Structure 1
Amino acid sequence: MGLPVVLDVALGLIFVYMALGLIASEVQEIISTLLQWRAEHLKYSIEQLLSGGQSEEWRSARKLADQLYSSPMVRDLNYEAQGIIAKFARQIIHWLGRGYRLVTRTRNVFGGKTSGPSYIPSEAFATTLVETLQLEGLQQSVVEVRLKSLLQERIMLPLGDTLHTLRAAIGDGALLDVELRNLESSLEKIFLDYRTGRTGLVQIADRVLAELDHFADQGAQVLPESYGATLAFNRRVGYLRSQIAGGMDMSEGLVLQLQPTIKELVAMILNADRADARLSELNHVRQQLEGKLPRRLQESLGILAERVSRRTNAVEDQVRLFQSEVEQWYDRGMDRAAGVYRRNSKIVGILIGVAIAAAVNADTFYIANRLTVDEAVRASVIQTIDQVSLESLVSDTGGDDLSEDLQSLSDAVQTTLSDYALPIGRSPKLLATQAVLEQSWRFPIPRYIFGWLVTGVAVSMGSSFWFDALRRITSVRTSGIKPLSTTTPSDQ
């Protein structure tokens, strides 16, 4: 058997694999759509990511995943077609899904819902998780508590003690009384401005230090020169200001004291014993997350927060950087999940391929034998391949061109199957020929079973794979002398 015949046999096998691969791809896509494999696998993968793969953590991971799926940003990703026909078709899919879960005794991963998104971008997941943890609201609450403590306990109380001592030394019980009340009123307004969101934290720090400087100037003007009162007052206020500003001249030190780091925020959520009783927002967050934070997720969040703290000291950017770290963590988890889905799809593809091969009796060994000994069958297959433009097969094919060429081949396949008797099927003549070949088979398992398995594995590789192989072999075949075996049955 010469090289041209070998190439023609290879083209014939590839043609059959591609024909069945087109069918298998459509069958697998239909099954995947009906049973929502992609959406279910995504939900399972997110639950496993949250639980860290620990079986004892699945219950809490499911609760958190259900809460994430109920958020508007994720819920809006589940697009469903509209219209009477589309809704009816969707109901059928849902009924099939219920029947499948009933037979296989698997749970509905979507909880009380019937479907979910097949893809969730990392940005949507990270944003939803950060919003579920309520980090920004907790950060606001912590700053409010710290700011209130600063104004009352670290400014007004020490100043009141200082004035009390000066008044006793000077004998003036009303010394700087008006100025102190004005300072207290100004500080209360500053607190309200931050609480209502009218002013940012940096501006708040500037205003606090400015009010403290203004009060010191007023004291210097009012206090008498005797008793060294002015000097003592200035030293006391200067020391107080230095402590508040963290030893810095600008407001940066005060901002660092007021604003919690992302590491502190995450620790507050995860460690109940270290929380400030005044943080009502924290209690609300914990009630919302009770029983929904797996231990492995807590460890992961702690590691991500630690990584952000090492990257930057800019506290105001740490929540944003933490969200970016969560996105990368999610992407890495989904990359692993995609590999698992591809392996599972491959197994399903092999099963579908074997089922199709058995249904149409596509025995690779018998097909190869018929293509080798029957020139007419071999010629009919080669003629079908020649019906498609060789230029499109040999040239580099892009995504759109590949779809068009596959469609052309699909049309050619239908023509060949209707015009020529390929060595597949269950016609009496074909079964009789197979029975003759089986007589020389010495193993207890029939040869056609192995043939179906080989065909199923080949079909599972996909029509695009065999299309590429067809282009390559066609290129080799057309680069040499055209084989004489490509005559059609009508020419014989």
Structure 2
Amino acid sequence: MFGSSMIEVAIGVIFIYLSLSLVCTAANELIASLTKWRAKTLAEGIRNLLQYDKGMEHQLYNHPLVRGLYRKGKMPSYIPSRTFAIALMDIVIPHHDPENPDRSRTLDKIRDVVGRLTDDRISKDLKEVLLVLMNETESNLIESGLDIKKTETALNKLRENIEIWFNNSMERVSGWYKRKIQVLTFGLALLFTCVLNVDTVSITRSLSNDSTLRAALVTIAEKSNRKSFPPADGNKANTGAAFKEFKKEIAELQQLGIPLGWNIPGSKPAGWGWLTKILGLLLTAGAASLGAPFWFDILNKFVSVRSTGKAPEETPKSPKEETKH
């Protein structure tokens, strides 16, 4: 059937996208691990959060709670918000006032101490941020009907506000990191695509015209769909295993007759044919950069459609959702 053959073509192309995206993911995780991208991006985010106060940044990273997150002398790639808040408060706020222990860390006392900190202790910009957080804490306590003079209540609320401030900033940091990874993934996908001549247009044409080739590739895709893959965690051994598996799959695909590589007939078109070739390569690189989880999920769905002969049933909707339509 025409519909069945189109599904098989889609499964074949998706499997190739999945194979390529797996090795790209493994490669970018290895690069991120070797270059310490996560730790460096976190440090840049904290630097921005602390208003580029180098002294405060140094004290924070050398605080015992943060030092405990180091691994073999390497800077942490993740700091819990509570750890950050406690460390920052510990650095900025005095621990104890022997002459007035009940008011040693009340909100008024903290605001007064922070306001009097000199520029060599804390930058003007960071001081202003902390004072804003303290004013917000006071407003929160008043709105909640809580006693702003009660030390424990004030400190807990201030810590919560610092945690919220930190988490909001870390969301932006996560965005920075994802954009870096997306650019790297596309670059790697484009590199592998061009080196191996993984042309979506050419592959689709070959699968559409050859039922035997199509059936063989679908069989490989279905078997691959049931096996596990080396984790993409930046580990050199796992990355090596991923490259070994990818090399094996490419050799198997070439043996079947899938048009991969630059040594096959028609791999180097003439004239305007290069426009189609470039389009095919860009389509492959763009698709592979979407990531292995995306294509693994899509492959599962297409294999399910082919196996059952119908699309998977939609998730039942709740009565509330039904009434909206």
Quickly name the TM-score band, shorter chain normalised.
0.7 to 0.9
Alpha-carbon distance in 1 for matches of 2:291, 2:172: 22
Could you say which residue in structure 1 is the equivalent of 2:179? 343
Q: Is the 8 A contact 2:12 2:221 kept in 1?
A: no
Q: 1:45 deviation in Å?
A: 0.6
Render the CA deviation track for 1:395-450: whole Å, top value 9, x for unaligned: xxxxxxxxx64459x769835733534321222xx2x31335x5553xxx643233
Render the CA deviation track for 1:166-186: whole Å, top value 9, x for unaligned: xxxxxxxxxxxxxxxxxxxxx
Alignment of 1:321-336 (within 5 A): 321-336=157-172
1:315 aligned to 150, 162, 171, which one? 150
Q: 1:74 deviation in Å?
A: 1.0
Name the % identity. Answer: 26
Alignment of 1:179-198 (within 5 A): none
- Structure 1 runs (4+) deviating above 4 angstroms are 410-413
Matched, 1:261 2:106: yes
Deviates more, 1:66-75 or 1:34-43: 66-75
In structure 2, relative to structure 1, the CA distance for the partners of 1:448 and 1:415 (3 Å cut) is closer
Q: 1:303 deviation in Å?
A: 1.9
Q: 1:270 deviation in Å?
A: 2.3
2:70 aligned to 62, 69, 78, which one? 78
Q: Is the 8 A contact 2:105 2:155 kept in 1?
A: no
Q: 1:353 deviation in Å?
A: 0.8
Render the CA deviation track for 1:275-303: whole Å, top value 9, x for unaligned: xxxxxxxxxxx4xxx44533332222112
SS at match of 2:50: helix
Could you say which residue in structure 2 is the equivalent of 1:417? 251
Could you say which residue in structure 2 is the equivalent of 1:365? 201
Could you say which residue in structure 2 is the equivalent of 1:65? 57
In structure 2, relative to structure 1, the CA distance for the partners of 1:3 and 1:470 (3 Å cut) is same
Q: 1:464 deviation in Å?
A: 1.4
Could you say which residue in structure 2 is the equivalent of 1:10? 10
How many residues align? The count is 289
Alignment of 1:47-446 (within 5 A): 47-51=47-51, 58=52, 61-80=53-72, 115-133=74-92, 135-137=93-95, 140-141=96-97, 144=99, 147=100, 201=101, 258=103, 261-271=106-116, 286=118, 290-291=119-120, 293-310=122-139, 311=141, 312-313=146-147, 314-317=149-152, 318-388=154-224, 405-406=228-229, 414=248, 417-418=251-252, 419-427=255-263, 430=264, 432-436=265-269, 438-439=270-271, 441=273, 446=275
Q: Is the 8 A contact 2:13 2:204 kept in 1?
A: yes
Higher relative contact order (Cα pairs below 8 Å, separated by 6+ residues) = 2
Render the CA deviation track for 1:141-184: whole Å, top value 9, x for unaligned: 3x61xx5xxxxxxxxxxxxxxxxxxxxxxxxxxxxxxxxxxxxx
SS at match of 1:31: helix
In structure 2, relative to structure 1, the CA distance for the partners of 1:475 and 1:118 (3 Å cut) is same
Q: Is the 8 A contact 1:384 1:412 kept in 2?
A: no
Q: Is the 8 A contact 2:262 2:268 kept in 1?
A: no
Q: Which amino acid aligns with 1:132?
A: I
> Unaligned 5+ residue runs, structure 1?
52-57, 81-113, 148-200, 202-254, 273-285, 393-403, 482-492
SS at match of 2:213: helix
Alpha-carbon distance in 2 for matches of 1:353, 1:412: 13
Alpha-carbon distance in 1 for matches of 2:29, 2:126: 34
Alpha-carbon distance in 1 for matches of 2:123, 2:258: 58
Matched, 1:450 2:285: no
Could you say which residue in structure 2 is the equivalent of 1:21? 21
Q: 1:478 deviation in Å?
A: 1.4
Give the alignment's Cα RMSD to 1 decimal.
2.7
Q: 1:347 deviation in Å?
A: 1.3
Could you say which residue in structure 2 is the equivalent of 1:461? 290
Q: Which amino acid aligns with 2:40?
A: E
Q: Is the 8 A contact 1:261 1:309 kept in 2?
A: no
Render the CA deviation track for 1:437-492: whole Å, top value 9, x for unaligned: x5553xxx6432332222111111111111100011111111229xxxxxxxxxxx
Alpha-carbon distance in 2 for matches of 1:330, 1:68: 13
Could you say which residue in structure 2 is the equivalent of 1:400? none
Q: Which amino acid aligns with 2:248?
A: Q
Alpha-carbon distance in 1 for matches of 2:189, 2:130: 44
SS at match of 1:452: helix
TM-score of the two chains, using structure 2 as the length reference: 0.80
In structure 2, relative to structure 1, the CA distance for the partners of 1:377 and 1:75 (3 Å cut) is same
Alpha-carbon distance in 2 for matches of 1:480, 1:132: 65
Q: Is the 8 A contact 2:105 2:151 kept in 1?
A: no
TM-score of the two chains, using structure 1 as the length reference: 0.54
Could you say which residue in structure 2 is the equivalent of 1:231? none
